[in-house]
Chain A
Amino acid sequence: NAGVTQTPKFQVLKTGQSMTLQCAQDMNHEYMSWYRQDPGMGLRLIHYSVGAGITDQGEVPNGYNVSRSTTEDFPLRLLSAAPSQTSVYFCASSRYRSAANEKLFFGSGTQLSVL
């Protein structure tokens, strides 16, 4: 099994550009989520999904959109990139929709720079 796959690994954008970070898992997990990691701030939850067609906001959703049309895929869209969105982004999934008792499986991350 590949686990959680994120693409691309690195991306440089100009302010105002749009892009989509891809996340796919092959474990039939119900729960998927996106985090951003910034120095001294830990991981902050952007959006999450508890199943196909169901998404909700996390701690820092502004500037990001998500959708979940299939169980496997959970893309993160930046509609108009800003320098404040420079960060490392992680996708994570879990077997069941409730976070309690279930560990998260993480992708290897996407390093995004917005100039």
Chain B
Amino acid sequence: AQSVTQLDSHVSVSEGTPVLLRCNYSSSYSPSLFWYVQHPNKGLQLLLKYTSAATLVKGINGFEAEFKKSETSFHLTKPSAHMSDAAEYFCVPTTSGTYKYIFGTGTRLKVLA
């Protein structure tokens, strides 16, 4: 069965500095991996997804994530944080044939002026 760990429940960065949100997954099979973003009082929106093509995946708003099978990780990064990046971010692994998206507990990103 899939499981996912988002290692930090809260991350604070200053505007203009790099962002790193960490995600580790466990799976017996090659996964697909998603990052979703939820801005305050909004629904969720897909940020990016990995589906066994290139290991470095680029998403919207300058975010990217690297799939590292040896580390079972799919960390989300952005070179320079913007105030509008303040949101909650969820990592979601799936496997072929699964009918259940199991979300991580989320990381709340705070961007300081």
Contact = CB atoms under 8 A, between A and B. Distances in A.
B103 A40 contact: no
Contacts of A41: 105
Interface stretch (A21-29, A64-72, A76-84, A92-100): A92-100
Interface of B: 6, 9, 32, 34, 36, 42-46, 49, 51, 90, 94-106
A75 interface: no
Contacts of A74: none
A12 to B, nearest CB: 18
B8 to A, nearest CB: 13
A48 B6 CA distance: 24
Nearest to B51: A101
B37 to A, nearest CB: 11
A56 B44 contact: no
